[in-house]
Amino acid sequence: MTKDERAVYVFALRYALPRHSYALSIVSQMILSRLNDFEDWELDGMIRDCWIYYPSLDCGGDIDRRCADDFKNKLLAELSKRGRDDLLSRIKDEAERRGME
């Protein structure tokens, strides 16, 4: 997958996160099916995007929140599988500062 194609997936995620529709489910599954094509820093950014949109997900209900949490957890697992403890540590520190899981 090219850099431009990966960027389209990232922008699709940013579009889907605050919407209360099936968009998040569809886009997250598309990304997860091509997870090996993404760089570590792109996965890190997607995790952060999930956090940024958490306030709007609260208005959408539990389904949106569960989908975003499941997606975020799969991205964290992928970074762990890749041995990126440095990114995981930084993400954990930021989550604690923000009072998030």
Is residue 33's pLDDT more than 80?
A: yes
**pTM score of the predicted model:** 0.84
pLDDT tier for residue 26 given thresholds of 50, 70 and 90: very high
- At position 44, the amino acid (one-letter code) is D
- At position 29, the amino acid (one-letter code) is Q
Q: How far is the CA of 2 from the CAs of 16, 32, 58, 63, in angstroms? A: 21, 16, 34, 32
Q: State whether residue 19 is helix, strand or coil.
A: coil
Contact criterion met (CB below 8 Å) for 42 and 10: yes
